[in-house]
Structure 1
Amino acid sequence: MTAPAGDAAPDGVSFRLLGPHEGHVLTSLISAVYGDSYDVRWVYDAHEVAARLAEGRYVSVVAESATGKLLCHMGMSLATTGDLVAHSGQAVTLPAARGHHVFTRTKRFLMDWARGAGLRGMYSEVTAAHPYSERANIAVGAHETGFLLGWIPASVANDAALDARRRRRSAAFFYTKLGDGSARDVYAPERHLPVVTRTLEVCDLRGTPARPPGDAVLRARSTLHVDIEADHAIAILTVTAPGADLGDVVRAERHHLFHRRGVDAVYLDLPLDDPATALVADHLEELGVSYSGIFPNSRADGDVLRMQSLHRVRIAADDVVVASDHGRDLLDYVLADLPADARASPAAR
């Protein structure tokens, strides 16, 4: 949650990591800025924050004024302490620091720490309700790899949003490269191969677009894991082994999630290192599952192709703010791939 970049940063700003005994700092900050609307609920539990800090599963950076006043916070989560790619979030810039590049300086501090710790990259979901956070990420070298349509619940208050209406909002997915990953083949469906290739090039990722061998066949059964994020009213289906039955499996899971579990959006992750991913596109497109982007996934061995399916959520081009030419091109592709019933008409808005 940031504001537009302005002139020079305030004098005397310092940056440091929070210690495990300071879990209450994040909890108090989130409460002060978001009230009780923030959609990651563990941040309201100071003991849980402290435990994550102590175990190394969470790294928390704060920017402070010369008098010790808190100006900005940014966190970084690791699924396990040995992860090479981390998730950055809980980025909050307080009013006194807005317009002074404190956000970008805080993120650079965190990036330097992460690079020193041997991490290869950081990713984040950035609200697309306004351009300020996106511009700040671009300023530190991050690039968009996809858009999560309908990702943010309507309950989340955002005082910087360009449109004040309360409804589900979308997020731009950013990746910040800190070091080279391993060389690997990337098997995207033929139809999405051009946009995947462009994203790999823009982000300087070490993936080589490849087509599956001519004799490649799908295994009979798919293997997948379902994670429901109740705070977001979303679900993520991680497919570790795509099979010939994937269309039927996704259809059944989606119906259960939409109609029994009250989920508003389902995101489907397919392993890009598996040639089978390039063979299942037709099965999924028949269901109206559309392109979202390239994402890291801790349940998969490498990057995944994320697809998305929305329930009673309508998206229009001007619902999503972008801050770069690459982002605009990518968003246009994502929106064009949506099924017609997920696109908001001007009259409906």
Structure 2
Amino acid sequence: MSDPLCRLHVQSREAVALAPGLVEGSAEMLGLSSPDRVRLRALTVEVLAAVLQDAFGPEDQVDLDLEVLRAPGEMRLVLRDRGAPLDFGASYPPRVADLIRLGFADGLTFANEGRAGNRTEISKHLAYEQVTDEQFIAETEADLIPAPTVGEDGQVVVDIRPMTPDDVVGVARLFYRCYGYTVAYAPVVYEPERLAELVESGQHLATVAIAPEGHIVGHLSSEVRTPGATVGKIGLLAVDPAYRRHGLSLRIGFAHVSRLLELGFVGQYTEAVTVHLGSQKAALTGGGHEAGMLLAGQSNELDFRGFESDDKVRKAVMLFYGSFGKTPQRTSYVPPIYRGVVERIYSVGNLPREVVADFERHPEVASGPSRIRLDLRHETGLAFVVVESYGEDFLEKLQEHVQQLRLNRFELILVVLPLSDPATSFFGSGLQEMGLSFSGIYPEYNDGDVLVLQNLNNVEIRPDEINVASDMGEFLRDFVLEDYRRAGERVAQRERSRAHMARIYEALD
């Protein structure tokens, strides 16, 4: 749900110059800082220049609309032009790509909508006051949580219910007691006003546990990106240190999943930490099944109070998927080297899939460029490279993206490949040469399954600190670590070969 703030209709090249000022003024009205306003203006200038150059000829009549929207937690700029079809989805204009990687915006999408023309959307998170002041810290630390009361049934006494906008400060206090201010991947928990907007809009669908004296001592949420969505990502599980080891996370999980079923959801993802087994056990008990592991998925800024851990090292997270409803039959075109692990994931998860691991040496791909979309999380050093379709330039384009993201110091790069495309079986078989290794399978992702490969950029991995809660978890951990090792050896071998050839050429010179 978005509220329109203003709209500009442009019919001449001269009038395009009005748009950046409108964007900057709107950003100021919505409370963005001066540096963020300047960056957003600069990005708008570059996007407009690219659209004018590619969508309209020198003699063409310019026809475009710029609309500024206020959405829950963010500002959106929607540019619609009725010029020639654009193909920015295949490759962002170089200058625009550089600004996105540098964090000038939090999201950028291009789409051709047929007769309606081209649509470009820029999103920027709004600035909210965080509860990080000394008064909040002092009040939270002074407000001691009483020891849990245990009922006759042996369970701690709490009221488990849906979260409301009135709970946001209590949730912020809970996360501070659990993690301090280290939940960098989800700063919204420390921004009560923004979190209240997301709860109100249904994008933050959460279940909380309330202690008898009124403290919020447990929280679990589903991230729902669009209204009416039937899948989401369960996460942000927090149980107050005083209430841990009482099975509370399982009770919250049961209540949350029951609510999702009532609302018509058919499946959920969750990422469980490997520092301890609590969240993995909750995912398994709630009907989830291991589908992959992100070796460096947990930011090194996240601190677990009450658990022994080194907060200077990124840690692994286990990916789970739970199906609530009838899962459609699908065919997955899997690289032969991953056939065994993928079939086991499908079997354990009871997912009806036909796995095809035979590929043609020269699969059919689009004659034009590959369509690759970037989704960058600068605050956590995480980058998604989403392959939407394969073209003749796929390997070169993918290698370019991975190398550039490594230079820009993204610590974890995830490459997402569509398993509905037979070309994935072919191309995915050779990507270890780029340092990409198996991470997992995301079932029912964007109306189909995807294969996720990972590239770690100067990240230390400690296998002996990866705790797993099941035999399947142990199998996946061992497979992911071994494939990571193999990919590393491939890259090292290639580098040694290059160095060897360089010495030969030097000797011949």
- So what's the TM-score if we normalise by structure 2? 0.62
Instruction: Give the equivalent residue in structure 2 for 1:28.
Output: 173
Instruction: Give the equivalent residue in structure 2 for 1:346.
Output: none
Tell me which of 355, 367, 372 is aligned to 1:209: 355
CA contact (8 A) 1:180 1:205 kept: no
Residues 266-306 of structure 1, C-alpha deviations (whole Å, 9 max, x = no match):
000111112121111234122121000012586x3322100
Give the Cα separation in 1 of the matches to 2:198 and 2:484: 38
Letter in 2 for 1:114: L
Residues 291-349 of structure 1, C-alpha deviations (whole Å, 9 max, x = no match):
00012586x33221000001111324213111100110111111111145859xxxxxx
Residues 212-251 of structure 1, C-alpha deviations (whole Å, 9 max, x = no match):
6758423343211111111211101111113342221121
| Structure 1 unaligned residues grouped into runs of 5+ | 1-5, 344-349
- The structure having more radius of gyration, on CA atoms, is 2
Letter in 1 for 2:377: E
Residues 124-181 of structure 1, C-alpha deviations (whole Å, 9 max, x = no match):
1111122222122222222110000111121111235454352111111111221122
Deviates more, 1:74-83 or 1:288-297: 288-297
- Structure 1 residues 209 and 340: alpha-carbon distance in aligned structure 2, compared to 1, 3 A threshold: closer
- Structure 1 residues 165 and 17: alpha-carbon distance in aligned structure 2, compared to 1, 3 A threshold: closer
Give the Cα separation in 2 of the matches to 1:303 and 1:225: 17
Tell me which of 227, 245, 267 is aligned to 2:375: 227
Instruction: Give the equivalent residue in structure 1 for 2:437.
Output: 290
Instruction: Give the equivalent residue in structure 2 for 1:144.
Output: 290
1:264, distance to aligned residue in structure 2 (A): 0.7
Give the Cα separation in 2 of the matches to 1:205 and 1:81: 26
CA contact (8 A) 2:381 2:409 kept: yes
CA contact (8 A) 1:124 1:173 kept: yes
Equivalent pairs, count: 336
Give the Cα separation in 2 of the matches to 1:246 and 1:297: 24
- So what's the TM-score if we normalise by structure 1? 0.89
- Structure 1 residues 160 and 199: alpha-carbon distance in aligned structure 2, compared to 1, 3 A threshold: farther
Tell me which of 257, 264, 269 is aligned to 2:416: 269
Give the Cα separation in 1 of the matches to 2:406 and 2:358: 33
Relative contact order higher in (CA < 8 Å, ≥ 6 apart): 1
Give the Cα separation in 1 of the matches to 2:334 and 2:267: 22
- Structure 1 residues 329 and 341: alpha-carbon distance in aligned structure 2, compared to 1, 3 A threshold: closer
Alignment of 1:53-72 (within 5 A): 53-72=199-218
Give the Cα separation in 2 of the matches to 1:160 and 1:287: 39
Give the Cα separation in 2 of the matches to 1:57 and 1:70: 20
Give the Cα separation in 2 of the matches to 1:9 and 1:199: 36
Alignment of 1:323-342 (within 5 A): 323-339=469-485
Residues 46-75 of structure 1, C-alpha deviations (whole Å, 9 max, x = no match):
111111111111111111233433221111
1:113, distance to aligned residue in structure 2 (A): 0.5
1:33, distance to aligned residue in structure 2 (A): 2.1
Give the Cα separation in 1 of the matches to 2:424 and 2:224: 26
Deviates more, 1:289-298 or 1:323-332: 289-298
Alignment of 1:145-164 (within 5 A): 145-164=291-310
Give the Cα separation in 2 of the matches to 1:211 and 1:34: 44
Tell me which of 305, 312, 323 is aligned to 2:458: 312
**Partner SS state of residue 278, structure 1:** helix
CA contact (8 A) 2:336 2:429 kept: no
Instruction: Give the equivalent residue in structure 2 for 1:251.
Output: 399
Give the Cα separation in 2 of the matches to 1:34 and 1:171: 17
The structure whose residues are more often helix, as a share, is 2
Instruction: Give the equivalent residue in structure 2 for 1:82.
Output: 228
